[in-house]
Structure 1
C-alpha cells in the first residue's frame, strides 16, 4: 500500500474504525494480496510500491545480510496477521512478538491520539503464544532476517529459543539472562528503555533501545551509549515519524532502527523514503549507461512520427496508400459524407498528439533515468515500448494494414533492441531529497494520486478504445455525429470500415502505451527534487490534451458525454501539476 493510496484513499476510511479493526482489516487485506498464487501478489505489491533498496545501503552484521537498516517493530502486528505482506514492503528485518509460551486470553485495543500522532500500545504484555507464532512463521516466505522477541521466565526463554531455532535469525529479550547466549549461535539482544553504564560490557550482541512516549532524550541516549564505549549493535524502536529522525538516529550511532507508531501516521512509504534519503546522502554518481542514446532516439522517432501524423491530420487526412486501399479519393468520401472525413481527422489527430506526448516521455526517461542507471526508468520504458510494438496487431483484424506503419515499426525495432541489450545491466535505485512530513510532502502525495489515477485512466481508455476498434468500431455518439449507420458506410465502400477500425484501434494502442508510461512514472518516479519529472508531465501532457480536445471543437464533435473522460483527465492533470510543483521544483 503506497502512500498515495494510504493517505489519499484508505486512511480517511480507516480513521472511522476502531484501531484494532482498522489494523486487522489492512493487515489481512495486504496479506491476502501477498499470497496470491503464481507470485502475482508480490509482483503487484512491487509494481505499486517499488520497494527495492540500493546495494550501497546494504550491510552484513552478525553473519546476516540486511538490505536496509530499517526494520518493523512487532508492536505494529501483534497477531502476525500482516507478516506475509510485510516481508514484501522493503524492510531490512522484521521483529516478531512479543512471544510467550501461552497465548493471552484477551487483547487490548491501542489508544490512538490523532492530534499528536501517538499510539499508546498496551502496557500489559500480550501474545498469541508460541504455537500460533510458529504456525504463522511456517507460512511466511522469509525475505529478510527475523528477530523474535521473547518474554517469560528463564526456563521459558530457554524453551522458546529451542523451538524457534528453525525460524529466528536472532532474539530480543527483556530480562538480563546472559547465560542464554550459550544456548544458541544466533545473536541475542537485550531490550531496555533506560540503558545503564554497565551495558558497556554487556555480553549480549547488542541492545534494543525502546522509545517511550514523550521521550525527548531518545537521541541523546544513543549518543551517550557510544560515548561511553558501547561497541555492540544498537537497534532503536520507535521515535521515527519522518526520514530526518531516522538519519539522526543512525548518525548518532544506531546500527538499525525499527519503525512503530510513526509508520502508521507517516504511511507505509516511510521505509522507502528513509532508504532513498540514505542513498541521497551518499552523493553517489553512477556512470552513464551505454545504450541510453538509442532509447532517446526511439522516443525522438516516435515524436517525429507524431508530428508528421499531426500534419497529415490537419491537411490531406487521407494518404495515398489509404486511397489505394479504398480505391477512392478523399474528395469522393467528402462528397458522400463530409463528417466521415472529419471523424477520420479526429481519430488521426488524437493519435498524433498521443504519439508526440509519448515520444517526449520516452526521451525524458532515457535522458534522466536510463542514462543515470535507474532500473525503474528502464523498466517503465520497456513495458510501454513492448506493449506499443504488440499494438500493431490490434488494427489488422479488419484486413487493413498500411505499409507506413510497418516501415515505422521496422525502423523503431532495431533501435529499441540495441538500447535494450546495452542497458540490461541497469540496476540503480532512486534517491530522494525528502526528509520531512511537511505540507510540501503531503500535497505531493495527493498530487501523485492524481497522476496515478490519470495513468490508470489512460490505460483503461486505451484498452477500451482498442477493443472497440477491433469489434464495433463506433460508439453511439460517433454514429450520432456522423449521422449515418455503419451499414450505410459499408454499402458505400466495403473498405471504409477497415480503415476507420485501423485508426480507432491504432489510437487505442498508442493511448495504452502512453498510459503505461504515465502510470509507471507516477508510481516509481516520485522522489522529491526530481525536477525533470514535473517538466515531463507538463511538456509531455500538452500535445495529447491539446490535440485530443481541440480537434473535437474544430470539427463540431462536442458531445459532453463523449468528451467527459477527456475533461476528467485534464482535471487530474492540472491538479497533479499544481500539487506536485513544490514537491518537485521547490525542494531544497
Structure 2
C-alpha cells in the first residue's frame, strides 16, 4: 500500500475507526497480497520500495538490507511480518515478548493526529511469536524485545525458545545485569541494552561495565515520551533529543553500535539521526502518520547526499527510438488526414478510394478516425520515450530503464495483432524493421542504468500530500489507458465493431463483407494497432506516475502534461472531424481528460517547485 493509496484511505476510513482496527486492516491486507502468487511482485511494482543495495551493511555478522527498521509496538500481533521486507525495511522488532498472554491488553488510542500507546504496551506471548516466526519466511533480521516485567526464569525460557528464530534481543540493563552476568546460560545471540531518556539524563547506568560483556552488542536509545494518564506519546522535539543522545554516545564510545527507536516522522529526521551516528533506526508512530512509503523516502533522502549530482550515461539511441516513433506518428497523421488508405490497402481490399467513397463515404471517415487515433497515440508515446531517455536513462536511473523497455517490448509484440485478421500492413512492417536495430542499441545502452532514485525532499508538507493525490490521478489515468488498450485490441481481433460504430456507419458487418471480404480485416488491423499503441502509452504513463513522482521533478510534470495532449487531441478531435460525436462513445475519453486535468493541477506545486 504505497502512500498515494494509503493517505486517501487513511482520511476516508482509517482515521474514523480505532487505531487497532485500522492497523490490523492494513497489515493483514498487505500480508494477504504478499501471500498470493505474484503478490510480492505486485507490491514491488506498485511501490518500488525495496532498499537500494547501497544501504546494505553487516553488523556483528548480521546482514541488513537497510538501516531502517520497524518498532515492535506498531505490529504487536505480528500481522504484517511477511510483508515488511517488501516495504524497504532492513530489520523488524517484535515484542515486548512475555511468557503467557496477559488477561487484559490495552489498545492504543488516537489523540488528534497522533497515536497514544498504553504505559503497558500490548504484549506478544511467546507461543504466538513462535507460531508467526515459523509460519512466515522472513528474509530480514528480527529483533526480539523482552518485556521488562518478566522474571529471570521466564526471561531464560523466552531467550532459549526464540534464539533459533531471531537475530538479536533487546532488554533493559537490569535484565542483562541479573541474567547475563550470572553466566547461568550459554547464548548464541547478541543483546542490545535499551535506554530510556531518564536513565540517560540521570546517568544511572554503568555503560562501560555493560559493554565489556561479550554478549552485549550495542544500545537502543528510545525517543523521550510524555505521559498522559495511563498513556504516552513522543514529545514534540523527540528527534532533537535523540540526536543529542546519539552524538554524546558516539563521542564517548566511537565503536558502539547504536539503534534508535522513534523520533522519526520525516525523511529529514531519519537522515539527521544517521548523520549523527545512528547505525540502525527504528520507526514508530511516525511511520503510521507518514505512511508505508516512509522507508523508501528515507532511502532517497540519504542517497541524495551520496550520488548528487549524478553522472551522465549513454542515452542517444533511446532518444532516437522515441524520436522515430514520434515522427512515425506524424507521418501516420498526415495520411489519416489526406488519402486515409494507401495503394496496397486498395489492392488488398479490391476497391479504390473513389469506389469506397461512392459506396459509403462514412467508411473512409471511420477508417480515418482509427488511424488518427493511432497517430496521436504514437506521437504521445514518442514524447514519453524521448523524455525518459533525456531525463532518466541519461542519468542512469534504473526505474526509467524498466519503464522504457517494458513499454517498448509490448509495443513490438503488438505487431502480431495487426495480422489477427489476415492482413499485414507493409508500412508498419517496414517501420518495425527500422525500429528494431535502433531499439537493440537502446537496450544495450540501458544496461548501465542501475542508479536508484534520490530526492532532496525530506518533509511531510502540504505540497507532498497534494502531490500524492495528483499522483493517484495519473496512476488511475495510466491504468485506464492500459485497460482501454487491452479492450480495444481485444475488440480489434474479435468482433471489430461496437454498436455505436455500426450506428455511425449505418451498415452491418454482413453488409460490409458484401462490399469487400477484405474490408473488415483492414479496419480490424487499424483498431488492433491503435489498441496496441494505447497499451504501450498506458504502461508508460502508469510507470512514470508510480515511480517518478518526487518533489521538484519538473520534467515529470512536463512529460505528463505534453505527452498526453496529442493522444487526447487526436482522440476527441478525430471524432469531431468526422462527426462521430455519440456521447456514450466519447464518455470514457471525457473522463480520462478530467482525471488528467485534475492530476496536473494537484501535482503542479509539488513537481514544478524547484
Tell me the TM-score range normalised by the shorter chain.
over 0.9
* Cα distance, 1:78 vs structure 2: 0.3
Q: Does 1:210 align with 2:222?
A: yes
Match of 2:137 in 1: 141
Counterpart contact for 2:407–2:537, Cα < 8 Å: yes
Match of 1:33 in 2: 33
Counterpart contact for 2:221–2:259, Cα < 8 Å: yes
Tell me which moved more, 424-433 or 92-101.
424-433
Counterpart contact for 2:513–2:519, Cα < 8 Å: yes
C-alpha RMSD over aligned residues: 1.8
- How far apart in 2 are the matches of 1:123 and 1:230? 33
Show CA shifts across 1:168-208 (max 9, x none): 11111134314538633432111122243445413232221
Q: Does 1:277 align with 2:307?
A: no
Tell me which moved more, 317-326 or 168-177.
168-177
Counterpart contact for 2:51–2:89, Cα < 8 Å: no
- How far apart in 1 are the matches of 2:76 and 2:528? 52
Q: Does 1:355 align with 2:353?
A: no
- How far apart in 2 are the matches of 1:236 and 1:34? 28
- How far apart in 2 are the matches of 1:35 and 1:104? 30
Structure 1 runs not aligned, ≥5 long = none
Counterpart contact for 1:263–1:270, Cα < 8 Å: yes
Counterpart contact for 1:326–1:493, Cα < 8 Å: yes
Counterpart contact for 1:200–1:230, Cα < 8 Å: no
* Cα distance, 1:225 vs structure 2: 2.9
- How far apart in 1 are the matches of 2:62 and 2:394? 33
Match of 1:4 in 2: 4
Match of 2:228 in 1: none
Match of 1:471 in 2: 494
SS of the residue aligned with 1:436? coil
Match of 2:472 in 1: 449
1:191 to 191, 194, 201: 194
* Cα distance, 1:142 vs structure 2: 2.0
Counterpart contact for 1:299–1:363, Cα < 8 Å: yes
- How far apart in 2 are the matches of 1:331 and 1:105? 88
* Cα distance, 1:226 vs structure 2: 3.2
Question: Following superposition of structure 1 onto structure 2, how do residues 159-308 of structure 1 map, counting pairs within 5 Å?
Answer: 159-176=157-174, 177-178=176-177, 180=180, 183-194=186-197, 195-196=199-200, 197=203, 198=205, 200-201=207-208, 202-203=210-211, 204-211=216-223, 212=225, 213-215=233-235, 216=237, 217-229=241-253, 231-290=255-314, 292-308=315-331
Q: Does 1:342 align with 2:365?
A: yes
Structure 2 runs not aligned, ≥5 long = 226-232
Tell me which moved more, 260-269 or 233-242.
233-242
* Cα distance, 1:125 vs structure 2: 3.9
Show CA shifts across 1:24-70 (max 9, x none): 11111111111113xx0110000001013233333222222222221
Counterpart contact for 2:19–2:115, Cα < 8 Å: no
SS of the residue aligned with 1:144? coil
User: What's the TM-score, normalizing by structure 2?
Assistant: 0.92
User: What's the TM-score, normalizing by structure 1?
Assistant: 0.95
* Cα distance, 1:562 vs structure 2: 0.9
SS of the residue aligned with 1:234? strand
- How far apart in 2 are the matches of 1:488 and 1:66? 69
1:317 to 318, 326, 340: 340
SS of the residue aligned with 2:16? coil
SS of the residue aligned with 2:414? helix
Q: How many residues align?
A: 582
Counterpart contact for 2:68–2:280, Cα < 8 Å: yes
1:119 to 105, 115, 118: 115
Question: Following superposition of structure 1 onto structure 2, how do residues 79-118 of structure 1 map, counting pairs within 5 Å?
Answer: 79-113=77-111, 115=112, 117-118=113-114
Counterpart contact for 1:102–1:127, Cα < 8 Å: no
Match of 2:459 in 1: 436
User: CA 1:573–1:125 in structure 2 vs 1: closer, same or farther (change >3 Å)?
Assistant: closer
Match of 2:229 in 1: none
- How far apart in 2 are the matches of 1:374 and 1:330? 49
Counterpart contact for 1:280–1:432, Cα < 8 Å: yes
User: CA 1:199–1:44 in structure 2 vs 1: closer, same or farther (change >3 Å)?
Assistant: farther
User: CA 1:127–1:214 in structure 2 vs 1: closer, same or farther (change >3 Å)?
Assistant: closer
1:420 to 443, 446, 451: 443
Counterpart contact for 2:512–2:520, Cα < 8 Å: yes
* Cα distance, 1:139 vs structure 2: 2.1
1:78 to 72, 76, 80: 76
* Cα distance, 1:9 vs structure 2: 3.6
Tell me which moved more, 3-12 or 223-232.
223-232
- How far apart in 1 are the matches of 2:471 and 2:180? 50
SS of the residue aligned with 1:209? strand
1:155 to 153, 156, 159: 153
